[in-house]
Amino acid sequence: MKPLRVPHALTPPLLRRLGPADLVMLCLVAGAIATVVAFAREFEAPLTPAVQIDLRPAALVRYTLYSLTRGVLALAISYLFALAFGWTAARSRAAERLLLPMLDILQSIPVLGFLPGLVLGLLALFPTRNTGLELAAILMIFTAQAWNLALSFYNSLKSLPEPLRDACRMAGWSAWRTFRQLEVPAAAHGLVWNGMLSMAGGWFFLMVNEAFRLGGRDYRLPGVGAYMSVALDRGDAGAMALAVTAMVVMIVGVDQVLWRPLVVWVEKFRLDETAGSAAGEGQGSWVLELVRRARLVRRAAVLRRRAYRTARLAARPFERPWRAARPGTLVRASRVVFDDPRARRVAGALVIALVVAGAVLGLRGLVLLVARLRGPEWARLFGAAGLTFARVMGAVLVATAWALPAGVAIGRSPRLARALQPVIQVVASFPAPMLFPLVVLLFERLGVGLGLSSVALLVLAGQWYILFNVIAAVAAIPEQLRDAAAVFRLSPLARWRVLYLPAAVPALVTGWVTAAGGAWNGSIVAEYIEVGGRLRMTEGLGSLISDATARANFPLLAGGIALMSLIVVGWNRLVWRRLMEWAQARFGLAA
C-alpha cells in the first residue's frame, strides 16, 4: 500500500499515514518491552536454584530472549563502567597510574574463577529471590565485556586534540557538558566497535554462567546456555542443533538490529576527516533506514523539540539578560569541580584509597585461603599449570598454523574479505564452549582422549583473534608497497617473505597475546567436560579450578586462580610485551 501523496503542510501531523516502517518499528519496540517485562518477572521470582529446562522449541525462544537480555544488561553496565573508569583515569594522573595496571591485570586473569565467590555472595544478599543468581550471571558476562571498552574510552580521551578541549573550556562548558558533547562523541566510534567485540566476548562463557555446579549443588538459570547444557546431558541431538541455531539467530539478529545501525550512524562522530574506516564505509543498515523512515520516530523528535522550546519560553523571565554577563566576569574554574586541582587531588586520593583498601582486603582473604594449602597440593597445582601451559602454547601454535596463511590470503584480497567478513564475524561471535562437548565426542570416536583433544578446544577458543589481527594488518598494507612488489616482479614466495609476513608480524603478536589469554580462560571449561551425564577430565590447571569449584574446595580454587593469574600476567609482562615492542619497532609500518 502506498501512502497518499498529499503535501505535508496540508495534512495535520497526527493524520499522516503510518507506513510499513512504523509497523516494523512498533513490533520491535513491543517485543523489547515484552521481553524486559518477562525477564523482570524472572528476576524477581522466588529463588529456584536449578530451574527445570523445557526442551521444547517453543520454550527456546523465551530462553534465548532471556540470555539476550542478560547480555544487553551486562553491556549497559559495562558501558557505564567504561565511561566512569576512562574518565577518572584520563583526568587524574594518580588514578591513571593505579587504574591502568589494574585494568591490565583484570583483563588477563581468568574471570570464570570468580563465579563461585560471586554466586555465594549474591545468594547471601538475596536469599529468597532469583535476583542474586541472575545478578551473578550478569556480572560474569560483564567481566568479559568491560575491560576493552574502558581501555577504548580512556585512549580516546587521551588522544583528544588539545585545541578541542581548549575551545570547550573557552566556551565555558561545564565538565558534564564537555563529557556529553565532546568526550563521548569523540569516543563513540571506538566505543561502538569495541562494544561489538565485547558482546561477542560476553557470550563465551554463556553455558557456564547459566548452568554450573558448585559444591555439589546444581544451579541453572533459564537461558539458551542452560538449554544447551541440558540437551547435552540428555544426549538430545535435536535440541542441541536447535540451541546452536538459536544462538546463531541471536548473534545475527543483534548484529543486524543493534550493531549495523550503530556502526553506520557513528561515522558521523569521526574526528579525522579522512575517508571512513574500511568496515564502516559504504555500508548501509536496513534498520537505520527503517528508523529514519519511520514517521513515529520523526514525530517523537518534533514533539521533543517542541517541549524543549516551551520549557525555554516558560523559563524566559528568569534568564539573565545578554550584555550583563560580559565585561569583567570570569567563568570561575571553581564552578567546575574537576578544574580545581585541589578538588581533583582529593577525588583522586579518594579513588586511590578505595581501590587500595579493596585490594588489601582482597589480598588478605586470598592469602588466608591459600595458606591452607599443603605441600602436595602445591606440587599438584604446579604440575597442572605446566600441563595447561603446554596445551595453551600448543593451541597458539596450531591456531597460527592455519590462521596466518588464511589471514594473509583474505587480507590481501578485498573481494575475499568482503565476501567472508560477515560469515567469519558470526562464526567468531559464536561461543566456542557450546561446541566443546561435540568436539570431544568426535575425538573420542577417533580414539583421542581429552588430554589431547582439549588442545583442539583451546584452538577454538583463541584462533579468531589471530585471524582477525592478521587480516586487518595485511589489509592495511599501503597500496604502494604492493605496487612496488608487483613492479619489481617479486615471486609469490618472495612477496610472502618480504612483504606480507613482516607486515603481519606485529598484528600476529597482538593476536597471540589475546589468543593465549582466551586459551587460558578456555582451559577452565576445556579440561573438564560433562557430556551425556558422564564427566571427562584431564589433569591441568583449568580442570583443577573446575573440580575445586564443583567440590567447593575454596583453598584449592583460590590457589588455582591465583597461580593462573600470575602466569598470565607474568607471561604478558615478561614475554608478550617485549615481543610486541620488538615487533613494532622492527616491523611496524607506521614510520
Please count the CA atoms within 13 angstroms of the CA of 309 that sit on its side-chain side: 6
Judged by CB under 8 A, the chain residues 281 through 320 that form the site for another protein are: 312-313, 315-316, 319-320
Nine cell digits for residue 519: 586459551
Q: Are 526 and 434 in contact (CB under 8 A)?
A: no
Closest distance of CB 303 from another protein, Å: 19
Contacting another protein (CB under 8 A), which of 14, 124, 330, 446?
Answer: 330
Of 46-54, 321-329, 390-398, 572-580, the window that binds another protein (rule: CB under 8 A) is: 321-329
Contacting another protein (CB under 8 A), which of 52, 176, 317, 322?
Answer: 322
Confirm or reject binding of residue 585 to another protein (CB under 8 A): yes
Q: Cβ–Cβ contacts within 10 Å for residue 297, how many? A: 15
Site string for another protein, 373-402 (x = CB under 8 A): ------------------------------
Task: Assign 449 to helix, strand or coil.
Answer: coil
**Residues near 49 by beta carbon (within 8 Å), at least 6 away in sequence:** 133, 217, 218, 219, 220
Task: Assign 528 to helix, strand or coil.
Answer: strand
Confirm or reject binding of residue 52 to another protein (CB under 8 A): no
DSSP category for residue 218? E
Q: Could you give the CA distance from residue 341 to residue 343 in angstroms, rounded to a whole number?
A: 6
Task: Indicate the residue among 8 and 326 with the shorter CB distance to another protein.
Answer: 326
Contacting another protein (CB under 8 A), which of 182, 250, 254, 408?
Answer: 182
Task: Indicate the residue among 163 and 376 with the shorter CB distance to another protein.
Answer: 163
Query: Which alpha helices (DSSP H) does 204-294 contain, by range?
Result: 206-210, 224-234, 237-254, 260-265, 286-293
Closest distance of CB 581 from another protein, Å: 12
**Residues near 208 by beta carbon (within 8 Å), at least 6 away in sequence:** 112, 115, 225, 433, 524, 525
Task: Indicate the residue among 167 and 359 with the shorter CB distance to another protein.
Answer: 167
Confirm or reject binding of residue 163 to another protein (CB under 8 A): yes
Confirm or reject binding of residue 479 to another protein (CB under 8 A): no
Task: Indicate the residue among 332 and 497 with the shorter CB distance to another protein.
Answer: 332
Confirm or reject binding of residue 185 to another protein (CB under 8 A): yes
Q: How many residues bind another protein (CB under 8 A)?
A: 44
Judged by CB under 8 A, the chain residues 337 through 356 that form the site for another protein are: 339
Task: Indicate the residue among 153 and 430 with the shorter CB distance to another protein.
Answer: 153
- CA atoms 230, 232, 234, 236: torsion sign: positive
Q: Helix, strand, coil proportions of the chain in percent (round to 5)? A: 80, 5, 20
Task: Indicate the residue among 483 and 581 with the shorter CB distance to another protein.
Answer: 581
| Element at 536 (helix H, strand E) | strand 534-537
Task: Assign 530 to helix, strand or coil.
Answer: strand
Of 262-270, 291-299, 374-382, 426-434, the window that binds another protein (rule: CB under 8 A) is: 262-270
Closest distance of CB 248 from another protein, Å: 35
Task: Indicate the residue among 322 and 376 with the shorter CB distance to another protein.
Answer: 322
360 residue type, one letter: V
Query: Which alpha helices (DSSP H) does 258-413 contain, by range?
Result: 260-265, 286-293, 295-315, 341-370, 375-412
Confirm or reject binding of residue 170 to another protein (CB under 8 A): yes
Confirm or reject binding of residue 90 to another protein (CB under 8 A): no
Confirm or reject binding of residue 273 to another protein (CB under 8 A): yes
Query: Contact residues for another protein (CB under 8 A)?
Result: 161, 163-164, 166-174, 181-182, 185, 268-271, 273, 312-313, 315-316, 319-322, 324-336, 339, 585-586
